[in-house]
A and B are shown apart, each in its own frame.
Chain A
Amino acid sequence: GEDVEQSLFLSVREGDSSVINCTYTDSSSTYLYWYKQEPGAGLQLLTYIFSNMDMKQDQRLTVLLNKKDKHLSLRIADTQTGDSAIYFCAETTGRRALTFGSGTRLQVQP
């Protein structure tokens, strides 16, 4: 079955760039997402990318997709303390519900 893996924790200093990585197993994955979860809250969509794209940029966020290696990354430029949260990678073929990774806890130190 499909599987999505992420590292559990990342710590960066305020102002640095953060890179959160994700790998997935389903080669049919068509839509790939990054969701953000702040403490005590549900998940909110940050950005998404189609499998026919290599890169997507949205303000401070850059998503890179290596379809050959089934590797997705999220880069946050100029990381702020407000970016501290858990970031989930998720994917779907479009014919089933989202499959989520275990989440990466980003800690931003002042």
Chain B
Amino acid sequence: NAGVTQTPKFRILKIGQSMTLQCTQDMNHNYMYWYRQDPGMGLKLIYYSVGAGITDKGEVPNGYNVSRSTTEDFPLRLELAAPSQTSVYFCASSWGQGVTEAFFGQGTRLTVV
């Protein structure tokens, strides 16, 4: 079972560059999430999706975009990278909200220089 797979694991971007963080899950989960983890700050929700074709903003959406064309994939797009976006990014998925467990990917460590 692959679970939640994120690519790449590491990336260094220059200011102003763009990139897409890939996330795919093979558990047929409806809900998918993108979080960023800054040191000592816990996880902040960037965007989430409750099903294919439906996305919504989380707590810190500025500078990011998402799409959910299939149940499996939930890519996160950075259009104009800024140093403030240096962080570790986690994708997660769950069957629902509430008691269902959220499964996390291994994370993408992004540095913007």
Chain A residues with CB under 8 Å of chain B are 4, 8, 30-31, 40-45, 48, 50, 88, 92-103
Contact = CB atoms under 8 A, between A and B. Distances in A.
Given A43-B90, A97-B58, A50 B99 contact: yes
Contact of B41 (A41, A92, A102): A102
Q: Is the interface of B mostly helix, strand, loop or mixed?
A: loop
A98 B107 CA distance: 17
Q: Is the interface of A mostly helix, strand, loop or mixed?
A: loop
A41 B97 CA distance: 23
B104 A43 contact: yes
Interface residues of B, number: 22
Contact of B98 (A4, A94, A100, A101): A94
A106 to B, nearest CB: 15
B53 interface: no
27 contacts: A40-B106, A40-B107, A42-B90, A42-B105, A43-B90, A43-B102, A45-B101, A48-B99, A48-B101, A50-B99, A88-B43, A92-B98, A93-B98, A94-B97, A94-B98, A94-B99, A95-B98, A96-B97, A97-B58, A97-B97, A98-B45, A98-B102, A99-B45, A100-B42, A100-B43, A101-B42, A103-B40
